[in-house]
Amino acid sequence: MINSITHLLEKRMFHLGLLLVILSFFTNSRHQTGINKTLGWIWDSSNWIYWFSYFNWMVLLGYGFLAVIRYKTNKYFSGTHLLLILFSFLIYELFHFHVDWIISINVLMIIVFMINFIISVLAKRKY
């Protein structure tokens, strides 16, 4: 069991990331975002949080690049990254208007991904 989890975290982060991005489409579709039509020039405060979803696509492309060149990722940083993604979904669903929490979790996710990506490229551990 532990070997299979290690295998997933080191070699299949692209697939796990793709699964979570697809899951985010279903979970984030209930919240309304968009332009405030009343005044015409003011944006809804939750609208700019939507841009964090584009970071998920960049992370997915980064893990896809590592999968193409067949580099292993660090299992601890990969596990931490997955837990942060799941925690961010939970915070977004339960506490949609706590912007500080959403920003801090997403910034932490980006930092963990960048560290994981750099360590994977520098270590050059192929599978």
- CA distances in angstroms from 114 to 49, 78, 81, 85, 125, listed in the order given: 20, 11, 10, 14, 17
Rounded to two decimals, the pTM is: 0.72
What three-state secondary structure class fits 126? strand
**pLDDT per residue as tens digits for the range 31-81:** 555 555 565 555 555 555 666 667 777 888 888 888 889 888 988 998 898
**pLDDT per residue as tens digits for the range 86-120:** 887 777 777 665 677 777 888 898 899 999 999 99
Residue 124: other Cβ atoms inside 10 A: 9
- CA distances in angstroms from 90 to 4, 70, 86, 97, listed in the order given: 25, 31, 6, 13
